[in-house]
A and B are shown apart, each in its own frame.
Chain A
């Protein structure tokens, strides 16, 4: 990608008429052709370096491009999600925007006050009290002493630390530590906020508080650049998203489209890994030889829509005669949570004895799963319930996103205001 991918504000779609839809939003960050090379050296002592000086030294080091020709421009007031599998360069890009690492080639320009939440509590010194650390950390994030003093009560209140503020932070629980650090960071009045995975920490109530704060930031026209592995969070918070893969920009677009694209990247990687870890000859006499999955009236692999009838066909093999057995499958969300599952025993179907192979078809009528990717584990089992063979992630399908709700089930909901 060597052309600019302008990340213009979206024309609606996410939460209400927020300021990011202002047409005259100035650009706050421009990234032009940025590449970053890391040199991985395998030795680090003086002796080894001397021994492997020169050409041999180069053989001992390995180059690795964490970013390749990334170009983006980010308008003020937008919330951008950076998506990508582990090692795709998200954090590197974020650090380059923050000025923490210098790109090997290309330039990054930005304006406005920047605060980076790359790691909560970076700069907290364990031996200092909470109060001293607040001043130190605020100063690192660019606040003057007078400003910090003015905001101190707010910071303290948001963090909920209370009387512990004058205790050394090494005696804090990890939750207190995180709360105080987040509280400082959001009170620095940033124009651009970089957030790297930190929202995953803290208890649920505090996470909620943080998300509310981020929404407030959005309303105030602040720009937020967010790295997250929680696709739900990205669709919930961001209006645009960028998918990175192996250091390159793979997709730029609305958060929902980007999440969809990212799922495909992950699926591609999963298949690659499955091929790489090719199963060796199985001593197990039984095997699931195939699983087909499609919606009636749609081609296999198409997105499934609510109300469709889902067909699951499974093919089994067993080397020896098998007199009694039952079949079944489970559907899991991409987080590994079981969403649905059934088997022939529950359905009160007795299969005929298997001689060599058998095939079974399940029809799931009127499916109402929530938007996202799902996996099917197909298995067959002995009468006692003991699995003969199970093929995990035998097939996968994607449910169409539902713009009106989130979660793994669909419910028809109406809403109205009622008298108090």
Chain B
């Protein structure tokens, strides 16, 4: 705070003039944004902490609630679908199977719903201070990852309790699965957060889609069941179903954690499919980020 006026002037003289707000050139844009976000990583970190801290502030159980919801879900599916409706008869170690699917899907749904609301719920900040706006959806991704890691601990605990910890090479499927979800979650999170500013219907639509997508991937039933039904008769639908990145990630998670299913049927070339989906997803991030930068100029006045 002690710099004198002349020192300050000398320093300012050497600084280049920059355009206020976001650079909007097509190519320098995305790269510049990454750099800018990197420069604001401490802020990102603080925003993630804020999200997490404020969520269960003043509740006695705190983060335990992060676990109670998925565990309840697990019990319902396990009892109703597995035992009463009999899905467990076709799938060994059904509890681990379901929880693996729910965990990875929970990551996706939390990223997308959190990110969609992120810009609108940070309206106070966006209207008053300029920081790269991508930071808000990214902070939602961050807090979702944190909750995911808590659930992951439970999942690993479950595999240990059922004496089926996946100590084998398929464990490596964990990484592409999570990466795939992160890529697609971020891509759609960016797009939807920006659209939600202009049309608040988006966040309700997202709620519905998240519910729908859960049933459109093999979480509470097996991929092979779908394959038996429509694999022959409607191969294009089956291809669409299988190559859905969420299905791929869920399958990858099953291969990681569900040891009881080593003999189960999986689509061929799972890893290749994941790689292709990942590349497509990165292109989507780029495209959706362009859309985001186009739309963000008017955020402050639309909010």
Query: A residues bordering B, Cβ < 8 Å?
Result: 19, 22, 24-28, 30, 38, 44-46, 49, 76-77, 95-102, 107-112, 116, 118-119, 122-123, 125, 127-128, 132, 135-136, 139-141, 144-145, 168, 187, 189, 191, 219-222
Q: Nearest-CB distance from B131 to chain A (Å)?
A: 6
Q: Could you say which of B13, B16, B58, B128 has the most chain A C-beta atoms within 10 Å of its C-beta?
A: B128
Instruction: Closest A residue to B8 by CB, please name it.
Output: A221
Q: Nearest-CB distance from B55 to chain A (Å)?
A: 9
Complex Cα–Cα for A100 and B20 (A)? 8
B161 at the interface (CB under 8 A from A): no
Q: Are B199 and A26 in contact (CB under 8 A)?
A: no
Q: Nearest-CB distance from B119 to chain A (Å)?
A: 14
Q: Are B53 and A99 in contact (CB under 8 A)?
A: no
Stretch in B42-50, B147-155, B173-181, B278-286 with 4+ CB within 8 Å of A:
B42-50
B5 at the interface (CB under 8 A from A): yes
Instruction: Closest B residue to A116 by CB, please name it.
Output: B129
B130 at the interface (CB under 8 A from A): yes
Q: Please name all residues of chain B whose beta carbon is closer than 8 Å to the beta carbon of A98 when the two chains form the complex.
A: 20, 129-130
Interface string of B9-27 (1 = CB under 8 A from A): 1001101111111100000
B6 at the interface (CB under 8 A from A): yes
Complex Cα–Cα for A98 and B130 (A)? 7
Instruction: Closest B residue to A29 by CB, please name it.
Output: B20
B57 at the interface (CB under 8 A from A): yes
Complex Cα–Cα for A139 and B4 (A)? 24
Complex Cα–Cα for A45 and B201 (A)? 8
Query: B residues bordering A, Cβ < 8 Å?
Result: 1-6, 8-9, 12-13, 15-22, 40, 42-43, 46-47, 49-50, 53-54, 57-58, 124-131, 199-201, 297-298, 300-301
Complex Cα–Cα for A135 and B48 (A)? 13
Complex Cα–Cα for A26 and B49 (A)? 40
Contact (A110, B17) CB under 8 Å given A221-B5, A221-B9: yes
Complex Cα–Cα for A126 and B22 (A)? 29
Q: Please name all residues of chain A whose beta carbon is closer than 8 Å to the beta carbon of B1 when the two chains form the complex.
A: 187, 189, 220
Shortest Cβ-Cβ A-B pairs, 9 listed: A221-B5, A19-B5, A122-B128, A102-B297, A99-B21, A99-B20, A99-B130, A109-B17, A127-B54
Q: Please name all residues of chain A whose beta carbon is closer than 8 Å to the beta carbon of B46 when the two chains form the complex.
A: 135-136, 139
Complex Cα–Cα for A189 and B58 (A)? 35
Q: Are B128 and A100 in contact (CB under 8 A)?
A: yes
Instruction: Closest A residue to B51 by CB, please name it.
Output: A125
Q: Are A140 and B300 in contact (CB under 8 A)?
A: no
**A108-B20, A139-B40, A220-B2 given; 20 more Cβ-contact pairs under 8 Å:** A22-B9, A30-B17, A45-B201, A46-B201, A99-B20, A99-B130, A101-B298, A118-B127, A118-B128, A122-B125, A127-B53, A127-B54, A128-B54, A136-B50, A139-B42, A139-B46, A140-B43, A141-B129, A219-B5, A220-B1
Complex Cα–Cα for A222 and B3 (A)? 10
- Can you report 9 residue pairs joining A to B where beta carbons are below 8 Å apart? A26-B13, A101-B301, A102-B22, A108-B21, A123-B125, A127-B58, A139-B43, A221-B3, A221-B5
Q: Are A76 and B50 in contact (CB under 8 A)?
A: no
Q: Please name all residues of chain B whose beta carbon is closer than 8 Å to the beta carbon of A99 when the two chains form the complex.
A: 20-22, 130
Q: Are B131 and A26 in contact (CB under 8 A)?
A: no
Q: Are B128 and A76 in contact (CB under 8 A)?
A: no
Q: Nearest-CB distance from A145 to chain B (Å)?
A: 5
Q: Are B12 and A128 in contact (CB under 8 A)?
A: no
Q: Could you say which of B21, B58, B200, B297 has the most chain A C-beta atoms within 10 Å of its C-beta?
A: B21
Contact (A102, B21) CB under 8 Å given A46-B199, A189-B1: yes
Q: Which of these, B2, B49, B301, contacts A38 with CB under 8 Å?
A: B301
Q: Which of these, A76, A118, A119, A145, contacts B8 with CB under 8 Å?
A: A76
Q: Please name all residues of chain B whose beta carbon is closer than 8 Å to the beta carbon of A128 when the two chains form the complex.
A: 50, 53-54, 57
Q: Are A123 and B129 in contact (CB under 8 A)?
A: yes
Instruction: Closest B residue to A45 by CB, please name it.
Output: B201
Complex Cα–Cα for A76 and B2 (A)? 16
Complex Cα–Cα for A111 and B9 (A)? 11
Complex Cα–Cα for A101 and B299 (A)? 8
Q: Please name all residues of chain A whose beta carbon is closer than 8 Å to the beta carbon of B20 when the two chains form the complex.
A: 96-99, 108-110
Q: Are A132 and B6 in contact (CB under 8 A)?
A: no
